[in-house]
Structure 1
Amino acid sequence: MNLSQHFTLAELTASNKAQQLRIDNTPPQELVPRLVRTAEMLERIRSTLGVPVVVTSGYRGQALNKAVGGVTSSDHTQGHAADIVVPGFGSAYQVARALAPLVSTLGIGQLILEGVKGKQWVHVSTRTPDKTSNRVITITDAGAQLGIQELV
């Protein structure tokens, strides 16, 4: 099922961990409109960066979210979020730096540059956090910092 021109429901629900653990990661029908909104946000990001966007994690049901160590309040469980990499554009840091000044224009409620356990990606969500200071942050093994910080 296509959610937008370049993003499918299968792409936004795919999970190697779910397959490995035989977890059904099919979203409830009522969350599909949120996934469409997330796909539309990803389309705007793709258009802005001018290259394809790879979704490494999209929707995660509660069982999968727990299996991957996600926080219980994760936007992934509600269909609001996707973790992405954009190899044709650059590193996660370069992607986050390019998107940070455009969050409002692109309909990104929250942008997080994540560098955890040796992996790097960009988390984008259509939901704006309650604390506006958490709208653009960097999370590393050392903790969270405001803004986009270079990962070392």
Structure 2
Amino acid sequence: MHKYFKSDEFTCKCCGGGEVDPLLVSILDVVRARRGCALIITSGFRCNQHNIDVGGVTNSYHTNGQAADIVPSDGDIYSLAGELRSVAPANTCGVIIYSADGFVHFDIRSYEYSEIR
């Protein structure tokens, strides 16, 4: 798929289906190269049922293959969030830090950086 990621890292955890937007993976590839540590995709594409099962929001970007939840192998979610914001095209992505859960949600749409504790 790309340099650092395989397509199956982004498929739905319950059914194995779905495709991910190439722009999402391209941005994650650049961020991975810059950071020099693995980025673990804990949730990529979600079918509608899986999205419901995990408590995802209606019309989640995960269900369109335009979002990923990411855990950096070095554990620095704040640095990861900053790097995602610096690499992604301006006003085209969303970054949410889930500090209590230790991951960053990244999607390719337009809204501001935020943090959920």
After TM superposition, give the deviation of residue 108 of structure 1 in Å: 6.0
The alpha carbon displacement at 1:86 in A equals 0.8
Structure with bigger gyration radius = 1
Q: Which amino acid aligns with 2:96?
A: I
Stretches of structure 1 that go unaligned for 5 or more consecutive residues are 19-23, 129-133, 141-152
Using the alignment, how far apart are the partners of 2:103 and 2:92 within structure 1? 16
Q: Distance in 1 between matches of 2:4 and 2:72?
A: 14
Q: Which residue of 2 aligns with 1:60?
A: 46
Secondary structure of 2:102 counterpart: strand
Change (3 A) 1:108 1:87: farther
Q: 1:149 is matched with which residue?
A: none
Q: Which has more helix, going by share of residues?
A: 1
> Counterparts of 1:106 and 1:14 in 2: how far apart (Å)?
28
In 2, the alpha carbon distance for the partners of 1:107 and 1:79 equals 18
Are residues 63 and 77 of structure 1, via their aligned partners in 2, closer, same or farther at CA, if it must alter by over 3 Å? same
Q: Contact between 2:31 and 2:83, CA under 8 Å: does it hold in 1?
A: no
Deviations, residues 25-59 of structure 1 (Å, cap 9, x unaligned): 411xxxx3x53222111101102212221111100
Distance 1:10 1:107, change over 3 A: farther
| 2:25 is the counterpart of 1:39 | yes
Q: What TM-score, normalized to structure 1?
A: 0.67
Give the deviation of 1:83 after TM superposition: 0.5
> Share of identical aligned residues, percent?
30
Residue 95 (structure 1) aligns with: 80
Q: Name the structure 2 match of 1:10.
A: 8
- Give the TM-score, by structure 2 length: 0.84
1:81 aligns with 2:63: no
- Equivalent pairs counted in the alignment come to 117
Q: Aligned runs of 1:73-152 on 2, under 5 Å?
A: 73-88=59-74, 90-100=75-85, 102-104=86-88, 109-115=93-99, 118-128=100-110, 134-140=111-117
| RCO higher in structure (CA 8 A, sep ≥6) | 2
